[in-house]
Amino acid sequence: MPPNELSKIAQKLVKHGYNAEPEVVQFINTTPDPTSTIKFLISHIPKGIFTLEMSHISDIYGNSSPPSPSISISNDMTGNSTGSGTYDDFVSIFQDRLSKLSSILSNRINPYPLDSIKKNSGEVRVVGMVSDIQKTNSNHVILELEDITGTFSILVHNTSEIFHLTDEILLDEVIGVKGKLSSDSEILFAEMIYFPDVPSNFRPPHANRPVQAALLSDIHVGSKHFTSEIWSDFTNWLKTPEAELIEYLLIAGDLVEGVGVYPGQDIDLAIINIYEQYEAFIECLKDIPGDISIIMIPGNHDAVRLAEPQPAFDSEIRNLLSSSNTHLTSNPSTVVVDGVPILMYHGVSLDEIIAETPSAQVSYEAPQNAMIQLLKKRHLAPQFGSRTRISPEQKDYLVIDQIPSIFHSGHVHKFGYGKYHNVLAINSGCWQSQTDFQKRANITPDVGYAPILDLDTLNLTIRKFS
């Protein structure tokens, strides 16, 4: 190995206040990721030691191997799209959704099939997909639930303690209901409403070593409003000792500005060719230290289909973006880094959740609350045929099967975070200043935020660059 590589390792140790025997420097250099090894050693060196010897290495590691970045990806549908838009495709995706979410609810409430309700008396429990929502003249709400056996009407009385929950219910989501039948057994009077939800006692997995991830979204390279100087401030900070624990960078879509995304977009473009936008984005990635693993999903501005789930780019763009430290996956995907599952979803359906839910509960100013609604529903785009386009696949990739430690999203260009049943929901803001389109829509973006996550404690530090 060239001497300058060994010298770099020695210099990094000196920056942290440590000298090292030549054998220690050689050992570090032979590990899969020397930077990760240095970070791990520094976090485990006993107090009072300032010169590292091989005996210290043996004491720290024992018989185990030095750590290296660990990444696995689940629910990536890239290359697995099966939908052709036929009637059977739509039936398949709804049946899969109903099956998965019914299974979650059935473990809690032991429901009756809808076609057998009338045979029962007393308390009745059901699970189904919401096929209709109506308000009566008396301001009660009637829900039509559907399962594979039939349909049934549910009435939620306007004086009921659960009536406020009807504001949260969307068409096509799966819910559970407990209640009592009317005297003619034609309607169920709801007493409890259940969402698939995250269990309140959920305990999120942690990493077993000190390591960090930076969570970004909505870079928008190619826009006249891309904040290149702020981006440079961020990438320069990544090279400082303060950022040495960062081994992962997760970008939740809208890598570039795209072309033809909204009316009049041409006047906002600094680069009008989509491939040249990605080439410029790659130049931005080159400013990130090479020992940081970069994981990216597409968004609605990227060169992929608009219908969700979105595969991770075509082969030409994948070839442009591929390198030794980049990982491309579909929108959505669950990415497990150092044992911590992070659900990455760009977030187009947040527009729909905010539009359909009373503003007292969710808004663009607190996007994490809309994300929490999706966690409750255990689905990333519950309502079909409205603002969010859904591709009819045999499998519903938008069901939240695996509960994540972190739910990471973007799209709305607003920063916010919050915890729900121990799941941390983070919306990362953006790296694009206000466009004319956003001015007309009265959107003031939150620019230059970099949430830094400690994967071993799941604590969050907010870095703001400007």
> Is the sign of the CA dihedral 70, 328, 310, 351 positive or negative?
positive
Rounded to an integer, the average pLDDT of 169-195 is 94
Distances (CA, A) of 162 to 110, 135, 179, 232: 20, 15, 12, 50
Rounded to an integer, the average pLDDT of 181-189 is 90
pLDDT of residue 24: 84
Q: How far is 391 from 249, CA to CA, in rounded Å?
A: 28
Per-residue pLDDT tens for 196-230? Answer: 999 999 999 999 889 999 999 999 999 999 999 99
pLDDT of residue 456: 94
Rounded to an integer, the average pLDDT of 346-372 is 92
Q: For the chain, give the mean pLDDT.
A: 91
pLDDT of residue 176: 97
Interstrand relation of 188-194 and 174-181 (parallel, antiparallel or unpaired) = antiparallel
Rounded to an integer, the average pLDDT of 316-321 is 90
The percent of residues in the chain predicted with pLDDT above 70, rounded, is 97
pLDDT at 32 over 70: no
pLDDT at 21 over 90: no
pLDDT at 88 over 80: yes
pLDDT of residue 370: 97
Beta bridge partners of 145: 130, 152
pLDDT of residue 2: 46
Q: Helix (H, G, I), strand (E, B), or coil: what is residue 417?
A: strand
Assess contact for 81 and 393: CB atoms under 8 A.
yes
Size of the chain, expressed as the number of residues it contains: 466
Give the side-chain half-sphere CA count within 13 A for 3.
0
Range of weakest confidence among 34-38, 59-63, 112-116, 417-421: 59-63
pLDDT band at 81 (very low <50, low <70, confident <90, very high): confident
pLDDT of residue 270: 96
pLDDT band at 67 (very low <50, low <70, confident <90, very high): low
Helix axes 22-30, 3-15, angle to 10 degrees: 110
pLDDT band at 371 (very low <50, low <70, confident <90, very high): very high
pLDDT at 121 over 80: no
More confident residue, 248 or 18: 248
pLDDT of residue 1: 41
pLDDT band at 63 (very low <50, low <70, confident <90, very high): low
pLDDT at 446 over 80: yes
